[in-house]
């Protein structure tokens, strides 16, 4: 059979070998890069060392602070650093070099980067309203860093990219329109079926771990549901499956479910402060 006729006969076929190679790579990669999240014990996929992750966190933190209006002192800074020190003292010790700063911004937000680099935006302070509610937010962000959620997201994104590459090679003999349709569908599926659900899972896990940190540090965990009721007043949230975060109603329900455990933890760690 002439070569050109042979090639035409194979036009439009899916090549299986790229998918088989990716499947083998996925299995080895996944099972050789497993760690356990502190507190929850959940298995997670992480492929960089804590030192590499901390270096990336420090670089990002310095870039953010360099472009932001950092509050140099005052009551807000002292409060944030007091809460941060108390939470860090009761969290699992990953060897972080903790740093707490306040950024003058209307954003109702806070963040914690790998290595223990934390910042709180001034826009969050009036919404929190008190130290206990602010501790809930900061505990949540600190939990993200200790649970290595950033490194886990990087690993998931890497696998998604490798998978897309394998599919692209496998479809190399198909017409361009078919390739575009399949790759578009895969991209949407990965975003809404894998990456976003994992992100919501991380948020809920950070809520749970952070709530226990709040309790261990002798703050009042019952402020968590009230905080998210106030957060919900800021506007209508998108449908949960379209978001990287659980909606406020879901978070409030989770906090209420976890509250008996948090109160027991607080009683165990803070006997003197909870005594009548």
Active site (catalytic) residues: 141
Q: Nearest 10 degrees: CA dihedral of 217, 222, 225, 227?
A: -60
Distance CA 267, CA 275 (A): 9
- The CB-based long-range contact list for 196-200 (8 Å cut-off, 24+ gap) reads 196/241, 196/242, 196/243, 196/244, 198/152, 198/153, 198/156, 199/153, 199/244, 199/245, 200/240, 200/243, 200/244, 200/245, 200/246
- Locate the DSSP E strands across 86-239: 99-103, 110-113, 117-121
CA distances from 143 to 4, 92, 152 (A): 60, 9, 14
The pairing of strands 117-121 and 99-103 is parallel
């Amino acid at each position: 059979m002439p070569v050109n006729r042979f090639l035409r006969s194979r036009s439009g076929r899916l090549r299986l070998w790229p998918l088989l190679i990716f499947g083998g790579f996925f299995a080895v990669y996944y099972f050789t890069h497993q760690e356990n999240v502190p507190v929850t014990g959940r298995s997670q996929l992480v492929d960089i060392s804590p030192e590499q992750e901390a270096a990336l966190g420090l670089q990002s933190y310095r870039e953010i602070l360099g472009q932001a209006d950092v509050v140099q002192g005052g009551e807000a800074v002292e409060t944030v650093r007091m809460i941060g020190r108390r939470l860090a003292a009761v969290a699992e010790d990953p060897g972080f070099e903790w740093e707490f700063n306040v950024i003058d911004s209307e954003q109702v937000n806070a963040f914690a980067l790998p290595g223990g680099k934390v910042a709180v935006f001034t826009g969050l302070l009036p919404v929190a309203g008190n130290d206990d509610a602010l501790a809930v937010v900061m505990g949540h962000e600190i939990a993200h860093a200790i649970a290595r959620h950033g490194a886990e997201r990087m690993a998931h994104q890497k696998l998604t990219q490798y998978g897309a590459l394998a599919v692209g090679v496998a479809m190399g003999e198909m017409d361009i329109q078919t390739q575009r349709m399949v790759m578009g569908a895969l991209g949407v599926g990965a975003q809404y079926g894998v990456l976003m659900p994992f992100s919501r899972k991380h948020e809920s896990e950070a809520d749970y771990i952070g709530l226990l940190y709040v309790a261990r540090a002798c703050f009042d965990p019952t402020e968590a549901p009230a905080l998210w009721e106030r957060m919900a007043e800021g506007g209508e949230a998108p449908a949960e499956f379209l978001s990287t975060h659980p909606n406020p109603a879901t978070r409030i329900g989770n906090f209420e479910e976890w509250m008996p455990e948090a109160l027991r933890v607080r009683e165990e760690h803070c006997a003197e402060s909870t005594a009548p």
